[in-house]
Amino acid sequence: MIRFLLKGILGDKSRSLLPVIVVCIGVSLTVLLNCWLKGVMGESLVMNANFDTGHVKVMTRAYAQEAQQMPNDLAILGADTLTEQLKKTYPDMDWVKRIRFGGMIDFPDEQGETRAQGPVVGWAVDLLSAGSKEATRFNIKKSLVNGKLPSTAGEALITHDFAEKFKVNPGDEFTLFGSTMEGSMAFKNFVVSGTVRFGSNVLDRGAIIIDMADAQQALGMEDAAGEILGYFTTNQYDNAKATAITTSFNAKYTQNTDEFAPVMLRLRDQGGMAEYIDYSTTMGSLMVFVFVLAMSVVLWNTGLLGGLRRYTEFGVRLALGEEKNHIYATLIYEGILIGTIGSVIGTGIGLSISYYLQEVGVDIGGSMKNSTLMMPSVVRAAITPTAFYIGFIPGIFSVVLGNALAGIGIYKRKTAQLFKELE
């Protein structure tokens, strides 16, 4: 019977071709949009985690309240001890100290006079310790446009666009002006070791990256850090684990009323990331729902028209002694078969386009010039394991639903009426 069904589906183009095309289009769009959303949202999420939020972040309570201002006067003191404690208590995570700061850099001319000045945001990260993953986290090697990574103290990376604007090249010197954590003026000379482009307008507008020890020295923050970030060793954010760790850590300080007591926040607790994650999840689910609905309506009509046309066949089959239930079941099997064929082809097409968009991407930098959102200027799709099966949900469900609704006609008509329609 399955051979018969298959031959019937393949032989009758109106029964197979149109539904397969509809499923194919719907599934490929579902896969493509899924990959696109995963890519755009995922890349932004990873970028935010790597540059800003970590998977979890420890700050002082006072710092946490003003985190967007980078208030280093509220930084953690005894950061080395706290980091060591964190490493011992939560060994499944990589713990790193960071200082974020704002300041101005001054580029001198040959006589040592100011040639150019500009405001920058800065990241102080561990670039020089053996085994540090910070350079990888900031994707510095791939982002390097000119020069090299800092290899000794006193070297800094600056963003390429900023460097071009001030005609700065690797090897040039500059002076960083900022403020110490006590509020007095701080300045330190650096040598540009290289220029980088992160592919995010927010970062590329003007940023420098220096080694943590240099920043601690320049900003008077010995044994202090604005933030201690924790990353899962798998490099994948796991909300359940992050919740467990933050709950356990914060429990130790619930009785402590000191505003400089440490507090740990999950990625989703910071800077609207919860809304962002929820939005991406909701969008993904909504998208699948919309496609199921839209395809079901189309396929219901296709199935209905096909069903009406096939009353001759149903009549013959009833006359030959097939039960209505059996005919209805075969309609459902057909739906599964057509849905599967359409889903396989549609998934293939969707994945192919997604792969292209993953490799090439779409440059949205032009429209992101004034954006403060940390997201890449070239957005890309991301093919995840979900993309290989997500299309099958609307693909199969919609055809089965369409056939199921269309097949109700078999029951609504009396057997003799169906039979009469033969003539």
Partner 1 sequence: MEKPIVQIDNLTKRFPVGNSEFTALSHLSLTIDKGEFMGLVGPSGSGKTTLLNIIGSLDTPTEGSVEVMGQSIATLTHKQAAILRNYHIGFIFQSYNLLPVYTVFENVEFALLLQNLSADERKKWVMQALEWVGLTDKAKSKPSQLSGGESQRVSIARAMVKRPQLVLADEPSANLDARNSHHIVQTMKKLNKELHTTFIFSTHDEKVMQYLDRIVSLKDGMVEKDEAVLHIQN
Contacting residues toward partner 1, per CB under 8 A? 1, 4, 7-8, 11-12, 312-313, 315-326, 414-416, 419-420, 422-423
CB of residue 337 vs partner 1: minimum separation in angstroms? 15
Instruction: Closer to partner 1 by CB, 359 or 423: give it.
Output: 423
Instruction: Closer to partner 1 by CB, 9 or 186: give it.
Output: 9
Residue 126: beta bridge partners?
none
CB of residue 6 vs partner 1: minimum separation in angstroms? 11
Instruction: Closer to partner 1 by CB, 223 or 421: give it.
Output: 421
The string of DSSP letters for 2-36 reads: HHHHHHHHHH-HHHHHHHHHHHHHHHHHHHHHHHH
Instruction: Closer to partner 1 by CB, 260 or 419: give it.
Output: 419
CB of residue 312 vs partner 1: minimum separation in angstroms? 6
Instruction: Closer to partner 1 by CB, 223 or 323: give it.
Output: 323
CB of residue 321 vs partner 1: minimum separation in angstroms? 2
CB of residue 327 vs partner 1: minimum separation in angstroms? 10
Dihedral (C-alpha) 38, 144, 155, 372: value to the nearest 10 degrees? -40
Q: Comparing C-alpha atoms, which of 370, 384, 274, 275 is closest to residue 43?
A: 384
The string of DSSP letters for 67-121 reads: GGG--GGGPEESHHHHHHHHHHH-TTEEEEEEEEEEEEEEEE-TTSSEEEEEEEE
The string of DSSP letters for 191-227 reads: EEEEEE--S-HHHHTSEEEEEHHHHHHHTT-TTEESE
Instruction: Closer to partner 1 by CB, 356 or 411: give it.
Output: 411
Q: Which long-range contacts (CB under 8 A, 24 or more apart) does 330-333 make?
A: 330/1, 330/5, 331/303, 331/307, 331/403, 331/404, 331/406, 331/407, 331/410, 332/400, 332/403, 332/404, 332/407, 333/2, 333/5
CB of residue 394 vs partner 1: minimum separation in angstroms? 28
Signed CA dihedral, 281, 358, 123, 91: sign only: positive
CA-only gyration radius of the chain, Å: 30
CB of residue 11 vs partner 1: minimum separation in angstroms? 3
Instruction: Closer to partner 1 by CB, 369 or 414: give it.
Output: 414
Angle at 17 between CA 392 and CA 304, to 5 degrees: 85
For helices 324-359 and 311-319, the axis angle rounded to 10 degrees is 140
CB of residue 41 vs partner 1: minimum separation in angstroms? 46
Instruction: Closer to partner 1 by CB, 304 or 316: give it.
Output: 316
